[in-house]
Amino acid sequence: MSPSESWLRGSVVYQLYPLSFSDGNADGYGDLEGIFQRLDHIASLGIDALWLSPFYPSPLKDFGYDVSDHRAVDSRMGTLETFDRLLAEIHRRGLKLIVDLVCGHTSDNHPWFAESRRSKQADRADWYVWADPASDGTAPNNWLSVFGGPAWTWDPRRRQYYLHHFLSAQPALNLRNPAVVAELLGTARFWLERGVDGFRLDAVDFLMHDPQLRANPPLGPGPSGFPAKPFGLQQHIHDMAHADTAGLLGKLRAVTDEYGGRVLLGELSSQPGAGRRIDRYTGQGGLHSAYTLDLPKQPFGARTLYSALMAAGTGAATCWSFSNHDVERAASRWKPLGADPRRFAALLALLFCCLPGTLCLYQGEELGLPQAELDLDDLRDPFGMAFWPVFPGRDGCRTPMPWIGGARHGGFTDAGKPWLPVPDLHRALAADRQEMDLGSTLNVWRRCLALRRQLPDLRQGGLSEVDEEGEVLALARGGRLVAVFNLSNAPADYVLPPGRYTPVETPLPAGTAEMAADGGGVTLTLPPLGALLAIRES
């Protein structure tokens, strides 16, 4: 199955971060039963599949991405039986389910690591990346952790350092060891046998590194001086994105293909060259689709989106994500100064639904939730606590979903206190308050997603043209559909090529584009944060 044949192409995937979605057992944490109770909301959006972030046993030092058992359900989340019942209900509704497969590291509480660190002669001694110290006792090389500090931690039992690209509690697996790879392939089969429709592969760029452990060259401070995160002071040419990554992905793809119609969606970092890596990783026998964290970390504007679309080519293998559990919510991060939040959320919804390839919608995005601003005492993310206040971490995009505006904790939980607070601003945007308002962000998202399903050029058409002029972005999809967006908070003009254009009704708030034909083309006058969708007649 090539990227063009995958069911992912043109699909919309809804990302569920289970700890924050809905609490079904009143312990303050979201769980599988809570998701089961909210499936009507998810299905009403008109999406095609769900991506379920980790629900595996974990000490929650990295809130699910530090896995201590890949083939079980965390007791706070439910049981395997709960998972099976949830999967059956998802399938009954005609939706598909992708689950996270965390291949690059485990929790330091994992039994594999407990055995590996015991001694150099243990059965799983080389299941993780161990190295002797330098001659002066320091780390084997200069590699840095994304979360700050060295990427190596000394273990006195083995008298060696172990590698961790993230927290020291997340030791890196040795994916050059055939036994480790076989165990991970077995885990993939375990979940495929249960009926999942594919996997989202975490942190693909960090799966393989230079086996010689060569040091990274320095990058040095930029025009603004030293970055808040030291990770940005190196050229990451040896510690990540190694050429052998494609071979590992091929092994995972071969297993996935055994089950027919199952897919692999990969997460790529924001390091330079992400577009080229998507091409490489989604080649023959690799991932079906991949997204990069690069776009959400760029400033909002026509030039940014133009560059991203040009790098994606036809876009068939690219998955687009404006927000997720690792970045500030787009409703805050990208909103132009002085823009109306509701109007901006509507523009983002329409723009998102006009992109080629696969789309990944993060929970709460359909409500237009802004980034939550938390006090230091409320933070749980070790990344944020380490870099406070310059970088407050990821908790602000992970706060619980608000379901009932008038309920304590927004209806997320009946517990005395949720694991993260629910801001008052989010309760004002709760799902129940938006349901009956036809112009709400929630209902705009529903109509935009319906428009994507109704127009074949939007769902399956390639990206035939892309243009930018000032803060106007123009796309041609499938040859006939034209979409023009004014990404600024001021009126803007744009000239379309000569021809006859039939506008398509969109759910944007009042203030539509005006069209005026002359000999040189068709001039559009777009209102602030306005857009035009039109069919060009042949």
C-beta of residue 256 within 8 angstroms of C-beta of residue 199: yes
Q: Where are the alpha helices (DSSP H) in 294-392?
A: 302-312, 330-333, 341-353, 382-387
Catalytic one of 62, 100, 155, 202? 202
C-beta of residue 9 within 8 angstroms of C-beta of residue 357: yes
**3-class secondary-structure state, position 111:** helix
Does 258 participate in catalysis according to the annotation? yes
Other CB atoms within 10 Å distance of the CB of residue 220 = 10
C-beta of residue 309 within 8 angstroms of C-beta of residue 485: no
C-beta of residue 265 within 8 angstroms of C-beta of residue 324: no
State the helix-helix crossing angle for 80-92 and 178-194, rounded to 10 degrees: 60
Catalytic one of 123, 132, 258, 465? 258
Distances in whole angstroms, Cα of residue 522 to Cα of each of 85, 275, 506: 54, 33, 20
What string of DSSP letters covers 232-277?
A: GGB--SSSS--TTHHHHHHHHHHHHHTTSS-EEEEEE-SSS-HHHH
Does 202 participate in catalysis according to the annotation? yes
Which residue from 290, 297, 362 is spatially nearest to 325, judged by alpha carbons?
A: 362
* Element at 46 (helix H, strand E): none
- The encoded tokens of residue 192 equal 């495929």
- The encoded tokens of residue 170 equal 């997340």
C-beta of residue 87 within 8 angstroms of C-beta of residue 73: no
CA–chain centroid gap for 497, Å, is: 36
Catalytic residues: 202, 258
